[in-house]
Structure 1
Amino acid sequence: MRWMWIIPGLLMALAAIGLIGVWGRRFRRPAKGEVSLMAAVKRVSAAGADRVPVTFVARGQEIALTVPEHLARQLFPGQRGVLTYSGSDFIYFVPREELFTDDGPEGLLQVS
């Protein structure tokens, strides 16, 4: 008679473990395929349109993205920073100087 309680209890426990595993895997995926890399600006094309073609170099590969004009005006060749993009869509670029602020004698304080 005990087996009538043991078997359903084990099945429910296994189902709960499986659901927890599936739920946990869902949150470990990167958000929308976004990629963040240390990159350098190689080329900024002439401004004049709403979006400007900019070429970045990351891990020895060139990445060509179109950047909004107001952001492209702040970029210059050789500038290094963290580039975040998804596929061929530019998300943001944080120049290396803005990653840290000088906190006086205590050294550098990370702000991002």
Structure 2
Amino acid sequence: MYNRMVYVDEIDITSALISSHFSIGDVHRASPWSKVLAVQKEGSEFVSDTFNFEDFPIFSLQPTSPLPPITISSFHYQNQAIYVNDIHVTGVSTSGIVQVGGIEHIDSISRTKHIRVLSDEQ
């Protein structure tokens, strides 16, 4: 992996959250992961600990095996610095990556379960 200098004039990121990564420079490995239970409930009463990750099979599934690496024809400048003028990112979330530079390996997992609890369904 190369260790190059990165020169960025301006970066504007509005939102970066939930296990997201923002990196400048060359990175060997990034492994963001997240488990999210998103509950939308009608009404004003909130009861915590109503749902558990263990109650939903999606959170206990093993990830599939990664695909074999692919080779593409490209060109690169091994010892040249990276120059970037302006970057604008509205949002990066839930195991997403914004990378200015090279990255050798990405292993990202996001498991999200959305639940809606409506008054007429209770």
TM over 0.5, shorter chain: no
Q: TM-score, normalised by structure 1?
A: 0.19
Q: TM-score, normalised by structure 2?
A: 0.18
Point out the structure with max Rg over C-alpha: 1
